[in-house]
Chain A
Amino acid sequence: MSLVSIDQIHKYYGENHVLKGVDLKVAPGEVVSIIGRSGSGKSTLLRCINGLEAYQQGAIVVDSQAVEDDEYKLRLLSRSVGMVFQNFNLFPHMTAGENVMLAPKLVLGQDSKTSRAHAQELLEKVGLGDKFDAYPNNLSGGQQQRVAIARSLAMSPKVLLCDEITSALDPELVGEVLKVLEQLKAEGMTLILVTHEMNFARDVGDTVVFMHQGKVWETGPSDEVFASPQTSELQSFISAVL
């Protein structure tokens, strides 16, 4: 039984046909890397999975819930699907700890004591146990992104979507964020990442999805896909980025 099931979805921006019948199945605990050139539709696909973008045809089911354009259903869905963004999107007027505590308090109705303890635990898990009271502005990019991951985890999602989460980071800070993802994989978290980190996709990811012109062009176990790409598009993409 797949945790995320995407069935022939089509997405248009006005006249622009961005996703042209995409299929994807993700099993629980699987780490899927979506790669491809910019404009290939990979971020759009990711944003369709949690309803940030509406799609026009096809169906997406996550954790037995259909992803539909309905405010209430999307809010329920957000408990199963977490998301981490390229630009962190932390709340700058709150400390790291408050960022993590906010949704559990408001959405799950946790009391302050429980959510505080849980937030502290999560910050420790991403290596920021001493940064509970720090404001995002006083943290490095890598630290901010790890707070953002902790914030998503606070809602205990079944699947975590990562939208180019290392692209805005200085090269020396990428490693600390990827380490957290590896740790999550080891704990059995399901991850779907849009990424430019090919080494990470190959070494840590289970499955690679190569998107091209709004379609899943090639997909398979990551070691195989990187070792022997079948299509000329993927071959030229891999030789360009590796």
Chain B
Amino acid sequence: MMQFSDWDILRNLLLAARWTLLLSLIAFTGGGLVGLCLTLARSLRNPLISGFIKAYVELFQGTPLLMQLFLAFFGLSLIGIDVDPWTAAGLSLTLFSSAFLHEIWRGCIDALPKGQWEACRTLGLSYLQTMRYVILPQALRIAIAPTVGFSVQIVKGTALASIIGFVELTKAGTMLNNATFQPFKVFAMVAALYFIICYPLSLFAKHLENKTHVTR
């Protein structure tokens, strides 16, 4: 039987951490793009569109991410669409984060006084001009800190993808534990690696928060 040194464990975990990072990046970028579209569509204040988006958000916020992963992975293959763990994990994390990012950003836009919209309207600006020059620059400024903060949630959320056989940090930890029978050591390393990824993000979010408060 093969022997694992501590370095072997760490090396394998580090290799798997690449996929955690990549999956987080996909979820954050994809979720950001979808979330942005949802936010812009919502601000049109069309009751039908808003109702649909509200239901979408409720669906993804009101069910566990784990169930969403199961449905994307097992559910889709049941109806004949074959998905690999990558697609399933990328898709469900994208949808999941789009719902949360949309809620964050909508909140930032709603936090701006109604008078900003009215001032633009009386000056004759179109909807797009109002968004582009007045609303988004201000909303972005208050959105940065909570958005970076949410990215920490995404990183930790990717751990669930281990359930559907996606080999990222947590799954690699499980496999190494099965091979070494040293759960404390292995999972302590796994936790430490998550911390190393998430802590700088938290610090960054806090830093941004302080900065935006000063300029306000």
**A-side interface residues toward B, CB under 8 Å?**
50, 52, 74-76, 78-79, 81-83, 85, 87, 89-93, 102-103, 106-107, 151-152, 155
Q: Are the C-beta atoms of B123 and A102 separated by less than 8 Å?
A: yes
Taking the closest CB of chain A, its distance from the CB of B136, in whole angstroms, is 10
Q: Beyond A91-B134, A102-B133, A106-B129, is A78–B115 a contact (Cβ under 8 Å)?
A: no
Give the docked Cα–Cα distance between A74 and B121 (Å): 8
Q: Which of A50, A85, A103 has the most CB of B within 10 A?
A: A103
Give the docked Cα–Cα distance between A83 and B123 (Å): 8
Q: Which of A85, A90, A106 has the most CB of B within 10 A?
A: A106
Q: Beyond A87-B113, A93-B138, A93-B141, is A106–B125 a contact (Cβ under 8 Å)?
A: yes
Return the CB mask of B115-130 against A: 1 if under 8 Å, else 0.
1101101111110010
Give the docked Cα–Cα distance between A92 and B113 (Å): 11
Helix, strand, loop or mixed for chain B's interface?
Answer: helix
Give the docked Cα–Cα distance between A78 and B129 (Å): 15
Give the docked Cα–Cα distance between A57 and B133 (Å): 35
Residues from chain B with Cβ under 8 Å of A79 in the complex = 124
**B-side interface residues toward A, CB under 8 Å?**
113, 115-116, 118-119, 121-126, 129, 133-134, 137-138, 141
Q: Are the C-beta atoms of B137 and A89 separated by less than 8 Å?
A: no
Residues from chain B with Cβ under 8 Å of A50 in the complex = 122
Residues from chain B with Cβ under 8 Å of A87 in the complex = 113, 115
Taking the closest CB of chain A, its distance from the CB of B133, in whole angstroms, is 6
Q: Beyond A78-B121, A81-B122, A93-B138, is A106–B115 a contact (Cβ under 8 Å)?
A: no
Give the docked Cα–Cα distance between A23 and B130 (Å): 33
Taking the closest CB of chain A, its distance from the CB of B215, in whole angstroms, is 9
User: Which 6 residue pairs of A and B lie closest in terms of their CB atoms, listed nearest first?
Assistant: A78-B124, A89-B115, A103-B123, A89-B119, A83-B122, A107-B124
Q: Of the candidates A74, A81, A90, A93, which one forms a contact with B137 in the assembled complex, judged by CB atoms under 8 Å apart?
A: A93
Residue of B nearest to A99 (CB): B119
Give the docked Cα–Cα distance between A173 and B133 (Å): 30
Q: Are the C-beta atoms of A85 and B119 separated by less than 8 Å?
A: yes
Q: Are the C-beta atoms of A75 and B124 separated by less than 8 Å?
A: yes
Give the docked Cα–Cα distance between A150 and B129 (Å): 20
Residue of A nearest to B118 (CB): A52
Residue of B nearest to A104 (CB): B123
Residues from chain B with Cβ under 8 Å of A76 in the complex = 124
Give the docked Cα–Cα distance between A12 and B124 (Å): 25
Taking the closest CB of chain B, its distance from the CB of A233, in whole angstroms, is 30
Taking the closest CB of chain B, its distance from the CB of A164, in whole angstroms, is 13
Q: Are the C-beta atoms of B118 and A85 separated by less than 8 Å?
A: yes
Taking the closest CB of chain B, its distance from the CB of A215, in whole angstroms, is 26
Q: Are the C-beta atoms of B125 and A89 separated by less than 8 Å?
A: no
